[in-house]
Amino acid sequence: MMVNAYLAFAVAVAVLVVALLLNSRFARSAYIVTSPVTAVLLLVWYGYAGGDRAAAGLGRAGLDRGVRWGLVLVALVAAVDLAGALLPATRRLFVDRRALDTSAAQVAFQVLVRIPLATVLLEEVAFRGVLYGLLRGPAGTVWATAASSVLFGLWHVPGAATLSRVNPAVGRTFGAAAIVPATVVATAAAGVVLCELQRGSGSLLTPAALHWAVNALGLLTASVVTRRARG
């Protein structure tokens, strides 16, 4: 069944708003279930609305290229994180108070379960898959990129509001009042890059790999740096 693309887009946004409220306020402890379930619901809705699988990076044609590009991007992020941790000028930006109360098992859970399933899966399916794919046909690539990226930036407002408390160095560097708008702008810009990676590779795996690498390897690096800084 074909559904008007703009109506389908609005419904998808509404589903994401509900998920965001659940994850950030009403059912925080259930995020590991809420996020994958939301991703599945969005994919079902996309198929029901007649969305183009290729436009959402879900086609088989780009699978091999997505894997290759993804592996290269993961290696690049690992190299950047390593350099950042070794250089005194940037090492302090990795200091995160949350790491002090996080065991090795919890870090492994974050890197291998929470980040890929509760963060990357939902956000890539939602913003570089469903929302981007629904608008790309009727509105064009530029508008699809802009809309999905702006919404991706706004999606990070709840998390940005608490960042200065858990990472004081970031608050001192950028100013506590500027963290939320700076985060929205930065994540929206990242959204543009991720959309282009999806479009260029033809696969949602490419932005997903970069997204996982930035979050997971960044967390792993922060854990090591923070523990060493504590002595």
205 located within any domain: yes
Please give the average per-residue pLDDT across 158-164, as a whole number. 69
Residue 126 lies in a domain: yes
- Residue 162 confidence (pLDDT) above 70: no
- The torsion region of residue 102 among left (phi > 0), alpha (psi -120 to 50) and beta comes to beta
Return the pLDDT at 165.
56
79 domain residue, yes or no = yes
Instruction: Give the residue from 215, 25, 33, 58 showing the smallest Cα distance to 126.
Output: 58
The answer to whether position 31 is within a domain reads no
Phi-psi map region of 175: left, alpha, beta (phi>0 left; psi -120 to 50 alpha): left
pLDDT at 107: 92
- Describe the crossing of helices 141-155 and 5-21 by its angle, rounded to 10 degrees: 10
Helices marked H in 22-130: 31-48, 63-86, 88-91, 104-109, 121-123
Query: Is-contact 20 35, C-beta < 8 A?
Result: no
Mean pLDDT taken over the chain: 90
Does residue 94 fall inside a structural domain?
Answer: yes
- The alpha-carbon radius of gyration of the chain (Å, integer) is 18
Q: How far apart are CA 11 and CA 15, in angstroms?
A: 6
- Model pLDDT, residue 176: 55
Enter the pTM of the model: 0.91
Cβ within 8 Å of residue 22, ≥6 positions away: 30, 31, 34
On whether residue 4 sits in a domain, the answer given is: no
Instruction: Identify the CA nearest to 31 among candidates 133, 136, 158, 138.
Output: 158
How many CA atoms, within 13 angstroms, populate the side-chain half-sphere of residue 16? 23
User: How far is Cα 128 from Cα 138, in angstroms, rounded to an integer?
Assistant: 16
Q: Is the pLDDT of residue 126 over 80?
A: yes
Q: Are 123 and 215 in contact (CB under 8 A)?
A: no
Q: Quick check: is 13 in a domain?
A: no
- Count how many domains the chain has: 1
Domain-embedded: residue 66: yes
Q: Categorize the per-residue pLDDT at 143 as very low, low, confident or very high, splitting at 50, 70 and 90.
A: very high
Residue 61 structural domain: 54-230
